[in-house]
Structure 1
Amino acid sequence: MNIKVASIDDGADILNIYAPYVQSSNITFEYDVPSLEEMQQRIAQTLCQYPYLIAKDNDRVVGYAYASAFASRAAYQWGSELSIYIDSHYHGQGVGRQLYQSLLHILKIMHIQHVYACITHPNIKSEKFHEAFGFQYIGCFHHAGYKFHQWHDIVWMEKTIGNEDDVQPIIPFSSLTREQIESCLGL
C-alpha cells in the first residue's frame, strides 16, 4: 500500500469510492454525488491549506483521507476536522490506519493542535477506528441530519496532537517542503 498526496487527476478514482457512500449510506449527509469537476475543485481547494491523501494498491486508489478547517474564525485555526473513505473491498485491511498515521503526522508538522471527527451515529466501525487512534467522545447532536427519510444523530470525537503550551503559527500544507511531506507518507 502506498500513501500519496492526491491530485486533481485522482478525482475520478476518489469519486468512485465516495459515490456509494452518498447513494446508499448515511455516513455522509450529502444527497447527490458530486460531478467530477466538483470533486477536482474540492481536492484543489483542500490542498491549498490542508493535506489530502490517497492510498494506492498498485495503481488502484483504494482509500482517501483529508483534513479541513474545523471552523472559520481565527481562533479555531489550530483545530482540523478529518474525513476518511475506504473502498468497501478494502475495509479491515489497514488502509485507514495507514492514511490516518500519515495524515496526523503531517498535521503535527503544520502545528495543528487538535483534530476532530464528526461521525454519523451509530457507526461502530468508525467510532472504534477513531478510539484506536486515541480519539475521545465529546458529544452527540441528536437528529442533526435527515437522509433517506429518517433523522440521524452525529457524534463528535477529538484528539490532541500538539503541545498546547507551545502554540506556533499554522503552516499551510502548500507551504510544506516535499521532504517534510514525504517523511510522513511511509509511516
Structure 2
Amino acid sequence: MPTERTETQVRPGVEADLEALTDLYNHYVRETPITFDTAVFTPAERRPWLLSHPVDGPHRLMVATGPDRAPDRTPGASGERLLGYATSSAFRAKPAYATSVEVTVYLAPDAGGRGIGTLLYRALFDALAGEDVHRAYAGIAQPNEASVRLHERFGFRHVGTYREVGRKFGRYWDVAWYEKDL
C-alpha cells in the first residue's frame, strides 16, 4: 500500500489553486502568530501574490497536493486537496537585494509531521538551483520548533532574532531569522 508521502504530488502553483491557497493562508491569519497578517484575504485580494510567483525565475510557488481523505469533506473532481505550499519571494524591494529571496512553507493544519514540508522545500530549492540567487532567508515567529527543525535540516543557520517585533492576539512575538547559501 502506498504511503501518503509517495501519494503527495509537488508542482508549481497555478491560478486554479488560488482559492485553496487563500483558504490555507487564512487559517494561519485567523488562528496562529505564524503570519503577522491580521485580516483574512479574499481570493481576488490574494491574486497579485499568486501572480508574483511565475513558473520560472527566482520567485516561485510550489504546491503539494494529495488524496482528500477527510471524512467530513467531499473531494473535488480530482479527489485531491492542497496539503501545503512553499514560496521564494523578494527579500527586499531595493535592486541590490535581487539575488536574495525570502522563503516560507505553509502546511494544511493536519499535514504536519509527514514530510510534506521537506518535499516542498526540496522541490523549491531544486527549482532555484539554476537561478541567479545567492542567499535564502526565513523569518520564523517564535516559538515554532517544527519550522526551526525543517530549516536547519536544509542547512539554514540562525543569524539573529528580532525581539517582540510583531503584535498579534494581544501579545508581542519574536521572529528568529535564518539564512542559507544557495
TM-score (norm 2): 0.85
Question: Which residue in the other structure is 1:77 paired with?
Answer: 98
Question: Which residue in the other structure is 2:72 paired with?
Answer: none
Question: Which residue in the other structure is 2:71 paired with?
Answer: none
Please state how far the C-alpha of 1:83 moved relative to its aligned partner: 1.4
Please state how far the C-alpha of 1:111 moved relative to its aligned partner: 2.1
Q: What CA deviation, in whole Å up to 9, does each residue of 1:135-156 have, x standing for no partner?
A: 0000011111000111111110
Q: What CA deviation, in whole Å up to 9, does each residue of 1:104-157 have, x standing for no partner?
A: 111121121110101101211111111111100000111110001111111100
Structure 2 Cα separation of the partners of residues 103 and 57 of structure 1: 18
Structure 2 Cα separation of the partners of residues 73 and 90 of structure 1: 36
Question: Which residue in the other structure is 1:26 paired with?
Answer: 33
Question: Which residue in the other structure is 2:122 paired with?
Answer: 101
3-state SS of 2:160 partner: strand
3-state SS of 2:86 partner: strand
Question: Which residue in the other structure is 2:145 paired with?
Answer: 124
TM-score (norm 1): 0.82
Figure out how many residues of one structure are paired with residues of the other and give that number.
161
3-state SS of 2:166 partner: strand
Residue 6 of structure 1 aligns to which amino acid in structure 2?
G
Asked if 1:55 is matched to 2:64, the reply is yes
Residue 25 of structure 2 aligns to which amino acid in structure 1?
Y
Question: Which residue in the other structure is 1:113 paired with?
Answer: 134
Question: Which residue in the other structure is 2:47 paired with?
Answer: 40
Report the RMSD for the aligned CA atoms in angstroms.
1.2
Please state how far the C-alpha of 1:30 moved relative to its aligned partner: 0.3
Bigger proportion of residues as helix: 1
Q: Which runs of 5 or more residues in structure 1 are unaligned?
A: 162-187
CA contact (8 A) 1:139 1:155 kept: yes
CA contact (8 A) 1:8 1:41 kept: no
Structure 2 Cα separation of the partners of residues 38 and 97 of structure 1: 29
3-state SS of 1:60 partner: strand
Question: Which residue in the other structure is 1:167 paired with?
Answer: none
Question: Which residue in the other structure is 1:143 paired with?
Answer: 164
CA contact (8 A) 1:62 1:87 kept: yes
